[in-house]
Amino acid sequence: MTEWYPLKLEPQLKERVWGGRWLVQNLGRSAGGWAEEGERIGESWEAFSGSLVTNGTWQGHSLGLLYDEYPLELAGEISKSHAEFPLLVKFIDARENLSVQVHPDDALARTLENYRSGKSEMWYVMEAEPEAHILYGLNDKVTSLEQLSEALKQGTLLEYVSSIPIKAGDVVYLPSRTIHALCQGVVVYELQQESDITYRLYDWGRQGREIHHEKGLQAINLETHNLKVSHPTPLQHEGFASVTLVECPYFTNELVEISDQLKSSERAEGTDKGRSFTLLTVLSGAGAIVSPSNAFAAEAIHKGDTFLLPANLSYTLKASTTPEPLRVILAQANS
């Protein structure tokens, strides 16, 4: 019988033209020599099917392989409705503006790309420079796709997209088919469907990157007008405070700040044991995961770490005394 335990995942850094050095400098990524001097690191992929386990029995195995071989043990009931590992967690450092883009929904992804899923996602803003903003949905000037098509040809798309101020602690939900752009001076945690299909609509004058005019227009939802960001406040419980960030058809996640400890049995309603794996990502502080499989050798956790907690695993998260509080995001897949 296989004994399951908290699976620590190896991050994979991605160089991007708009990236910087925040992920290297603030998440300890340089310690392993993962980023060469001067590389513009835009993303750190924390959990996806290609993530490798770095501890215990399954060291060196990918999540995709474990999901294929042990779907119920690893992922619980959601594995019955997802043939492949369904989620992707990233950190993103936007030192410059990302392209203005849109992602297809599931049906359009299958039609246009022969891919199993589209891409809905969410951002939790970790840091934002003064006067930082994002582009998020359409404004009231938009009346038709023909109007947007002409704007793409003329390079005037920004006249029809809403610009919204952003600050640390804000939450942005981005359903598929929503025009958006992460703009300079913002660092986010991102949770999304495991799809990398992006239709680029406007790229700030950069050369050599494709603009997806035709497919992008097919993907745009004209109903995404005047969207709002949220700024949820965690509710205090004994030993921890928590709040649901986003709950949608594809995933649910919650922000937890732990002053003492949090037991898995105390998780929010709707995050029931056995339904899904949990992706734990540490935003700040340090502590440990204790479970029946590692009760005598607790697994240390630090800022920037991501773990997969198998579906039926009982665990306790314990905070260490550090200058920063232990703050984590716990994410699960929905069917």
Q: Per the domain annotation, does 64 fall within a domain?
A: yes
Identify whether residues 244 and 293 lie together within a single domain: yes
Q: Which residue has the higher pLDDT, 150 or 38?
A: 150
Mean pLDDT for the stretch of residues 131-154: 96
Q: Per the domain annotation, does 198 fall within a domain?
A: yes
Rounded percentage of the chain residues whose pLDDT exceeds 90: 87
Identify whether residues 43 and 176 lie together within a single domain: yes
Task: Return the sign of the alpha-carbon dihedral for residues 40, 43, 44, 48.
Answer: negative
pLDDT score, position 267:
78
Mean pLDDT for the stretch of residues 207-219: 95
d(CA 313, CA 289): 11
Closest CA to 123 of 196, 46, 189: 189
d(CA 313, CA 5): 7
Identify whether residues 173 and 29 lie together within a single domain: yes
Closest CA to 201 of 118, 103, 100, 97: 100
Q: Per the domain annotation, does 117 fall within a domain?
A: yes
Residue 152: partners with Cβ closer than 8 Å, 6 or more residues away: 201, 202, 211, 213, 216, 217
pLDDT score, position 271:
64
Q: What are phi and psi of 144, to 5 degrees?
A: -160, 160
Q: Per the domain annotation, does 224 fall within a domain?
A: no
* pTM of structure: 0.95
Mean pLDDT for the stretch of residues 132-151: 97
d(CA 138, CA 36): 39
CA distances from 234 to 64, 271, 325, 326 (A): 33, 16, 13, 13
Q: What is the CATH number of the domain that holds 64?
A: 2.60.120.10
What are the beta bridge partners of residue 316? 263, 290
Identify whether residues 73 and 106 lie together within a single domain: yes
Contact 161, 227 (CB under 8 A): no
| Residue that terminates a domain, selected from 188, 219, 250 | 219
| Residue that terminates a domain, selected from 193, 219, 245 | 219
Identify whether residues 155 and 263 lie together within a single domain: no
- pLDDT of 264 above 70: yes
Tell me the two tokens of residue 71.
């779907």
- The pLDDT mean for the chain works out to 93
- pLDDT of 113 above 50: yes
pLDDT score, position 31:
46
Q: Per the domain annotation, does 230 fall within a domain?
A: no
Identify whether residues 117 and 249 lie together within a single domain: no
| Each residue's pLDDT tens digit, 80-109 | 999 999 999 999 999 999 999 999 999 999
Label residues 40-74 b or e (16+ Cβ within 10 Å = b). Answer: bbbbbbbbbbebbbeeeebeeebbebbbeeebebb
Identify whether residues 199 and 259 lie together within a single domain: no
d(CA 106, CA 117): 4
Question: CA gyration radius for the chain?
Answer: 20
Q: How confident is the model at residue 268 (pLDDT cuts 50, 70, 90)?
A: low
Identify whether residues 107 and 191 lie together within a single domain: yes
Mean pLDDT for the stretch of residues 248-263: 96
| Residue that terminates a domain, selected from 161, 195, 219 | 219
| Each residue's pLDDT tens digit, 172-194 | 999 999 999 999 999 999 999 99
pLDDT score, position 38:
74
d(CA 210, CA 202): 9
d(CA 30, CA 14): 13
Q: Which amino acid appears at position 202 of this protein?
A: Y
Q: Per the domain annotation, does 229 fall within a domain?
A: no
Q: Which amino acid appears at position 303 of this protein?
A: K
- pLDDT of 36 above 80: no
Q: List the domain range (segments joined by +) for residue 178.
A: 7-219
Identify whether residues 205 and 306 lie together within a single domain: no
Q: Per the domain annotation, does 77 fall within a domain?
A: yes
d(CA 91, CA 24): 11
- pLDDT of 212 above 70: yes
Identify whether residues 114 and 240 lie together within a single domain: no
Identify whether residues 255 and 215 lie together within a single domain: no
Number of compact structural domains in the chain: 2
Catalytic residues: 200
**DSSP assignments along 248-272, one per residue:** -SSEEEEEEEESSEEEGGGSPTT--
Instruction: Tally the C-alpha atoms within 13 A of residue 64's C-alpha that lie toward its C-beta.
Output: 7
- pLDDT of 61 above 60: yes
Identify whether residues 28 and 129 lie together within a single domain: yes
Q: How confident is the model at residue 34 (pLDDT cuts 50, 70, 90)?
A: low
Q: Per the domain annotation, does 297 fall within a domain?
A: yes
Mean pLDDT for the stretch of residues 233-242: 94
